[in-house]
Amino acid sequence: DAMVIQNPRYQVTQFGKPVTLSCSQTLNHNVMYWYQQKSSQAPKLLFHYYDKDFNNEADTPDNFQSRRPNTSFCFLDIRSPGLGDAAMYLCATSRAGKLSAGYTFGSGTRLTVV
């Protein structure tokens, strides 16, 4: 089945140690998104790629970066994780212009910072 896959499901990292989260998709969607969801809060958009064009949300900290080497893969890099970055990170995809398909979310990566 076509889907959005996030690895790993759980990630534990040390305070200040760079960490990378991975997302891949088999839907051939041209837009990929990263959301951060802290405990008991709504998901918050960090940034997205429209094809190769990177779009950063205005309030996303500089500590968060992203890469999209090809259509299928997108990575979230946290350069120096702090305790406040512990959260569920959700990757999503969409096909711009095909509204009826909506957005497809991956299963998420839960990040713990120790």
What gap in Å lies between CA 69 and CA 48, rounded to an integer?
13
* Count of CA atoms in the C-beta half-sphere (13 A) of 58: 0
Nearer to other proteins, 72 or 107 (CB): 107
Region near other proteins per CB under 8 A, out of 20-28, 40-48, 63-71, 74-82: 40-48
Asked whether 107 and 96 are in contact (CB, 8 A), the reply is no
Nearer to other proteins, 8 or 102 (CB): 102
Sole binder of other proteins in the list 45, 56, 63, 75 (CB under 8 A): 45
Binding of residue 56 to other proteins (CB under 8 A): no
Sole binder of other proteins in the list 66, 106, 111, 113 (CB under 8 A): 106
Binding of residue 24 to other proteins (CB under 8 A): no
Binding of residue 81 to other proteins (CB under 8 A): no
How far is CA 28 from each of CA 3, 23, 60, 86, 96, rounded to the nearest angstrom? 10, 13, 26, 30, 11
Asked whether 85 and 93 are in contact (CB, 8 A), the reply is no
